[in-house]
Every structure is written in structure tokens, then in C-alpha cells.
Amino acid sequence: MSPDTTAQNKSMTHFDQHQEVWLFGYGSLIFRPDFPFLARRPACITGWARRFWQGSHDHRGTLERPGRVVTLVPQAGTRCLGMAFLVTPEVFAHLDFREKNGYLRFRTPLTFDDGDTCEGLVYIATEDNAAFLGPAPEAAIARHIASAAGPSGPNSEYLLRLAEALRELGAEDEHVFAIEHHLLRASTEDVDGRGKDSVASS
Ligand code: BEZ
């Protein structure tokens, strides 16, 4: 599949006649909602796990040196906590462009923090998109993120802001927090002059 999903997303017309739609955010939408919204509420979706498995060519990396950003991968029984935004369907043209590097719109059941449910929409970069990087050890993902940057800024900023936003939401996300831990530990070792080389020579 081409990584540019703009045209494919235009054919997703399911919500076009709706006045308002709940959009589930699990990544940059949580800490960078750069679109108008009518309300926001913590919510979760079930059967999906947040993973730093999607390559970013246009925000947190480049075509030559992609960054790593989150997508959702199917995982039975897993609950992914995020933020739902109530938006009008016009917002999707903006998001289709912003997230054109592999993300497609899907319908999803949503559960709000008070137990209410509804059908909403979520953007997911599936494993068949050309920018998909897939799994790697979390320490390796942290090293990758530490070295990448793109037009939207350093890849590390994306990770740290996401981890902070998830903490504020009270989300337990072992994958994101483990990568954050590796990244922060590596930067502390750099500052202290206790990098790999000095450890090896001591
Ligand atoms: C999100 O934060 O939900 C999101 C992540 C990537 C693309 C679109 C949305």
C-alpha cells in the first residue's frame, strides 16, 4: 500500500452525514489536538495495543531516516486508554492530510470513562502500509527515537510528551513507559559521562 493514505481516506464516507463524531486519539492527538473540538473525554478501545511500530517520514523523521511513532496493533483483551474528541466531520480533511503517512480511518466501538459507549472513529496505520517498521526490542526503539528528527521536531519530544500525557490520563502503558525509561536512562548516562565506552573501559 502507498504510504499516502489521503485518497483512500476520502472514500471512508460512513460519518459524512453525521453532525458530530467521536474521534479516538491514542498518540499525538492526545498531546497535540490542533483541530477544533466540541468536547473531549477520556475513553478506551478494547482489543488494541499502542505500539511504536510505525515509521514517520514527514513529522518525526525523514524518508531517509524515518522516526518511530505509535499505531495500534490488534491484541485480544488489551485495553488502550486515550482521549476521545467530539468533532464535526470537516476535521477529517485536516487529519487525513496531517496523518497521511500510512494512517487509515476505521470505525470503532469506544467506551468512555463513565462506562458510556458509542461508535467512533480512529486512525490506524496497519502493518501493510509502506512506512510500517514493526516490532523491535524496546531499548532499540529508544535508541532509534533518540537519533531521529523531522519537520515537527525531535522524535524524543514526541515520546516524552506522549508519556507525560498518558501519565496525566492515568494510563498504564508498559510499552511506552519502558521506551521512555530507556531513552531517559541513556541521556542521563551521556550527561554523566558514563556512556557505553566508559563503562566498557572501567
Ligand atoms: C492518534 O493520536 O490517535 C493518532 C495517531 C496517529 C495518526 C492519527 C491519529
Residue with grid cell 492527538, as numbered in its chain: 29
Convert the pLDDT of each residue in 10-30 to its tens digit.
Answer: 888 888 888 999 999 999 999
Which grid cell is 166?
Answer: 498518558
Residue 55 maps to a domain = yes
CATH of the domain at 36: 3.10.490.10
Residue 1 maps to a domain = no
Whole-model pTM?
0.91
Closest residue by CA, ligand 1 atom 3: 25
Convert the pLDDT of each residue in 55-103 to its tens digit.
Answer: 999 999 999 999 999 999 999 999 999 999 999 999 998 998 888 889 9
Cβ–ligand 1 contact at 120 (below 6 Å): no
Residue 124 maps to a domain = yes
Closest residue by CA, ligand 1 atom 5: 27
Rounded CA-CA distance 28/32 in Å is: 5
Which CA distances in Å does 116 have to 14, 30, 119, 190? Answer: 22, 20, 11, 47
Residue 183 belongs to what domain range? 6-201
Number of domains in the chain: 1
Which residues are 45's β-sheet partners? 80
Ligand 1 centroid to Cα of residue 140, in Å, is 23
Cβ–ligand 1 contact at 15 (below 6 Å): no
